[in-house]
Structure 1
Amino acid sequence: MPDITPEVLRRFDVSGPRYTSYPTADRFVEAFGQEEYVLALRQRKVGSVGKALPLSLYVHIPFCESLCYYCACNKIITRHPERAQVYLRYLSREIDLHAAHCGVGQQVSQLHLGGGTPTFLSDDGLRELMNIIKRSFTLVPGGEYSIEVDPRTVDEQRLALLAELGFNRLSFGVQDFDPEVQKAVHRVQPAEQVFALVESARRLGFESINVDLIYGLPRQTPESFERTLAQVAQLRPDRIALYAYAHLPERFKAQRRIITAELPMASAKISMLARSIDVFAKAGYVYIGMDHFALPEDALAVAKRQGRLHRNFQGYSTQPDCDLIGLGVSAIGRIGATYSQNVKTLDEYYDAIDQGRLPVTRGLALTRDDLVRRAVIMSLMCQGEVLFQPMEEAWLIDFQSYFEQELQQLHTMTEQGLVSINEEGIKVTPMGWYFVRGVAMVFDRYLQANRNRAKFSRII
């Protein structure tokens, strides 16, 4: 465990992408639309003959019953459950359109329901959605099937239904256990409720339970967050996702309800992060990378030890690098050497499907340089190293000359103790793992070209 002090965190606190993809989503263009996406789907179908390449599915459920003030997700606040029924009908039609282009029965090894609040759907709605998915896709045994859960929307019976439907991983949105913080962000959920749900989930046999936390929220202090950390250590989820709150009220309307004067200072945020790293390490958690921690026996920690860690639009994953189909409003997908994103409003989404069109509004066809750099960045983000010879053989490049400028930039990071470089390759140090986004940014051609990092969240 490196000595991650507040001073070290402050030194490397810069803005930068999270690299759930490269190039990042801000590079997507509207010139990439339905026609280009359909071509990618058809090429995948042709290329998969006899291979049954696995797929990952992401389904976006945008509805929430109440507004969480910190939220930057694409969501619709409503207390009308019938709106979800209409949405499911259109999701079914979008899935049918995909099946028409890439075939029925494609094997799926990873499914994630996000939002919004996926558990906004009723029991019947959840059953209907899973039936729709299974009608067109084959969920393979041993896959990762996860759903984001608002603790206020479920009880043990609902968790039992999720297990019955095939979900084996849950992610509970906790953010903070402190009652004053919960009031300030309009998300009140007693700690006892979360503890009871996690106990029920374990009893029901879910393979992995994740808890989301956010530091930097209004009314948070290092002392109050210390109490939340102690409760999380006692709860002992299999995985912890610890995010820094980015206050961008000019971009996200919900955040305008947060009282700016109640936000903790930067020094307090850094103190919270430093204590989080220390508490989780002492509790036996493995630092996976970025903002993820896992118990040593969790599949994510095992994958990291074995060099099998991958990264996609949902974050770190144990699943092999595979194509991703995004379903629903604003969902992002990746097929072959392309990225795509659906329209962001319900009206646009319904209109596209009523016209018999896939609701893609923008995307990107990757160049050879994009693919080379993606391979380097994902190797850094997932394995913490880049080996020159395998990269040269895979992409037919001379690494030293292709990335001459980038290697020069990395020399500063070697002096700072973040990376080491030798004749075999680049290796991220134990301390560098906590700032791996900054290391990856060196190889981001777009970021280096325009230096416009203000639109990204800060690393810390």
Structure 2
Amino acid sequence: MKATKLEWDESILKKYNVSGPRYTSYPTALEFSGDYQLEDYVSCIESIDKDKSLSLYIHIPFCQNICYYCACNKVITKDHSKSERYVSNLIKEIKMVAAKSPAKVLRQIHWGGGTPTFLLMEQIAAIMETIRESFIVPDESSTEISIEVDPRALRIEDIKTLAHMGFNRMSMGVQDFDPDVQKSINRIQPYEMTRDMVVEARKYGFQSINLDLIYGLPLQTRETFKDTLEKVIEISPDRISVFNYAHLPHRFKPQRRIIAAQLPSPSVKLSIFEYIIETLQKDGYLYIGMDHFAKPDDELAIAQQNNCLHRNFQGYTTHEEYELIGVGVSSIGSMNGQYHQNVRDLEDYYEALDAGRLPSWRGVGMTFDDKVRKKVIFDLICHFETNKKEVEQEFDINFDSYFSKELSLLDEFKNDGLLTEDEVALKVTGKGRLLIRNICMMFDAYLNELQVTTSFSKVI
């Protein structure tokens, strides 16, 4: 697939700027149900094809400071002894899951949170040792082992330690380098601290480094964000994720500490986003999709060019859709056409594992219709097109008949120049790529007006 530059059309963006899912799964997590029982989860693990490759997600919920914008499931504490019980139970869960899974080869390992580097290096090493004892982890050069890093919670000398453990990819939260913005969100993180961490990671062979930014935070303006973006480009990460801040204080308690009057207006926010796109594309970054940009030689960009980009709960991923096992409190997995999530509360997590049970909470099994729609949605969100003939062959349907309602809903998108359609494919134009979530929503059988207005962030 040839890289296509984004086309900015402010009137179109304003017209379609509604709330919608990010489609890290389909059905989305809103459809997960407690009707999905522990027995369903155990059966799902036990029936994984032994020849399948696996991906493992490890959730570490602890953070030593609260960032007011954050919507993640986390535990705020400066008491590092609180992680001891968690680590011992996490090790127990990893062993239990591995014992039940016929498949053993791990091709991807991702640590997220919270703040994974809240843990001591010895604790991270113990978990990695358990993983290697419980699964087969091929040579690090062919296995992605990534970790989300908070520079405020990691000594620079620990980068070398992480590299020696096999970590080869890193994602680092920045959000904004402006001191006033940092103060307003309770995240003080000097530019030099971030820069030095990236330099050290390069020194020890980390293959891909991502920096996270957020636009729409308090006190941000186009001018202040210009300074942040210049510093980010100077650091030169392989990937840059630029997230739209969703102010949902009714859902996320920490956001109540943000002064709403200090949030940028919709027009200022749009101006910041326009500047981000112009600057990153001018500097050679390619737009991957959603909020993600990457250098042309990065794995994400290459995978998209080769039509083998995929998406899961960690965002875009570069390999085939491995069976994804999630461990740790609130973690989510995807296996055998089923989604599963662990309990969200620490005490519930400990209670289950102390009783010798996997800490299952809820999930959902995919219907035939779900699988068809997921194929179309993920094709669009990863490659900005879906091939009708491929869908028809895979699912033995007639695309135009099956999606007659959806195709009629897309007429307005086509009239506005966001999408083209012929007998073979639906293709998103350069002008439509920023609104890919809107296009995908037309194929979502579960969406209703209440969900859209109360449960999801704005697309821009």
TM-score of the aligned structures, taking structure 2 as reference length: 0.96
Which residue of the partner structure matches residue 4 of structure 1? Answer: 8
Which residue of the partner structure matches residue 420 of structure 2? Answer: 420
Change (3 A) 1:451 1:162: closer
Which residue of the partner structure matches residue 382 of structure 1? Answer: 382
Which residue of the partner structure matches residue 21 of structure 1? Answer: 25
Which residue of the partner structure matches residue 177 of structure 1? Answer: 177
Which residue of the partner structure matches residue 57 of structure 2? Answer: 58
- 1:37 maps to which of 34, 38, 41: 41
Which residue of the partner structure matches residue 271 of structure 1? Answer: 271
Which residue of the partner structure matches residue 154 of structure 1? Answer: 154
Output one character per residue of 1:326-375: Cα deviation in whole Å (capped at 9) or x when no partner: 10000011111110111101000001111211111110011111111111
CA-atom RMSD in angstroms: 1.3
Output one character per residue of 1:224-280: Cα deviation in whole Å (capped at 9) or x when no partner: 111111111211100000001111111111111111111111111111111100010
Structure 2 SS opposite 1:199: helix
Amino acid at match of 1:169: R
Give the drift of 1:451. Answer: 6.3
Amino acid at match of 1:422: D
1:88 aligns with 2:102: no
**Contact map agreement 2:99 2:134 (CA 8 A) in 1:** no
Which residue of the partner structure matches residue 114 of structure 2? Answer: 116
Give the drift of 1:405. Answer: 0.5
Give the drift of 1:382. Answer: 1.1
Give the drift of 1:454. Answer: 2.6
Output one character per residue of 1:286-318: Cα deviation in whole Å (capped at 9) or x when no partner: 000000000000011111111110000000010
Structure 1 SS opposite 2:97: helix
Which residue of the partner structure matches residue 134 of structure 2? Answer: 136
Give the drift of 1:449. Answer: 8.3
After TM superposition, the structure 1 = structure 2 runs for residues 248-397 of structure 1, keeping only pairs within 5 Å, are 248-397=248-397
Q: Aligned partners of 1:236 and 1:139: how far apart in 2?
A: 30
**Contact map agreement 1:109 1:319 (CA 8 A) in 2:** no
Give the drift of 1:140. Answer: 2.2
Give the drift of 1:384. Answer: 1.4
Amino acid at match of 2:75: I
Give the drift of 1:195. Answer: 1.0
Q: Aligned partners of 2:399 and 2:81: how far apart in 1?
A: 56
Which residue of the partner structure matches residue 441 of structure 1? Answer: 441
Q: Aligned partners of 1:138 and 1:272: how far apart in 2?
A: 45
After TM superposition, the structure 1 = structure 2 runs for residues 98-113 of structure 1, keeping only pairs within 5 Å, are 98-103=97-102, 106-113=104-111
Q: Aligned partners of 1:94 and 1:2: how far apart in 2?
A: 44
Q: Aligned partners of 1:116 and 1:329: how far apart in 2?
A: 11
Overall identity of the aligned pairs, in %: 47
- Which range moved further: 406-415 or 276-285? 406-415
Change (3 A) 1:444 1:189: same
Q: Aligned partners of 2:395 and 2:450: how far apart in 1?
A: 26
**Contact map agreement 1:107 1:140 (CA 8 A) in 2:** yes
Give the drift of 1:432. Answer: 1.5
Structure 2 SS opposite 1:363: strand
Q: Aligned partners of 2:428 and 2:9: how far apart in 1?
A: 18
**Contact map agreement 2:178 2:228 (CA 8 A) in 1:** yes
Give the drift of 1:220. Answer: 1.1
Q: Aligned partners of 2:138 and 2:313: how far apart in 1?
A: 21
Change (3 A) 1:445 1:339: same
Change (3 A) 1:63 1:450: closer
Q: Aligned partners of 2:108 and 2:36: how far apart in 1?
A: 26
Structure 1 SS opposite 2:47: helix
Output one character per residue of 1:126-172: Cα deviation in whole Å (capped at 9) or x when no partner: 11111121111122231211100001122331111111111111101
Amino acid at match of 1:163: A
Amino acid at match of 1:161: T
Amino acid at match of 1:306: N
Give the drift of 1:5. Answer: 4.1
Structure 2 SS opposite 1:145: strand
**Contact map agreement 1:447 1:453 (CA 8 A) in 2:** no
Amino acid at match of 2:173: G
Give the drift of 1:217. Answer: 0.7
Amino acid at match of 1:294: A
Which residue of the partner structure matches residue 209 of structure 1? Answer: 209
Amino acid at match of 1:278: E
**Contact map agreement 2:6 2:287 (CA 8 A) in 1:** no
Q: Aligned partners of 2:284 and 2:19: how far apart in 1?
A: 29
**Contact map agreement 2:9 2:431 (CA 8 A) in 1:** no
Output one character per residue of 1:170-211: Cα deviation in whole Å (capped at 9) or x when no partner: 101000000001111111011011111111111111100000
Structure 1 SS opposite 2:136: strand
Q: Aligned partners of 1:254 and 1:2: how far apart in 2?
A: 34
Q: Aligned partners of 2:399 and 2:386: how far apart in 1?
A: 10
Amino acid at match of 1:332: I
Which residue of the partner structure matches residue 242 of structure 2? Answer: 242
Amino acid at match of 1:35: E
**Contact map agreement 1:379 1:386 (CA 8 A) in 2:** yes
**Contact map agreement 1:5 1:274 (CA 8 A) in 2:** no
Q: Aligned partners of 1:196 and 1:453: how far apart in 2?
A: 41
Amino acid at match of 1:91: L
Unaligned runs of 5+ in 1: none
Q: Aligned partners of 2:264 and 2:450: how far apart in 1?
A: 31
Give the drift of 1:450. Answer: 6.7
Give the drift of 1:39. Answer: 0.8
- Which range moved further: 248-257 or 342-351? 248-257
TM-score of the aligned structures, taking structure 1 as reference length: 0.96
Q: Aligned partners of 1:413 and 1:64: how far apart in 2?
A: 42
Q: Aligned partners of 1:222 and 1:134: how far apart in 2?
A: 47
Q: Aligned partners of 2:451 and 2:214: how far apart in 1?
A: 27
Q: Aligned partners of 1:117 and 1:362: how far apart in 2?
A: 24
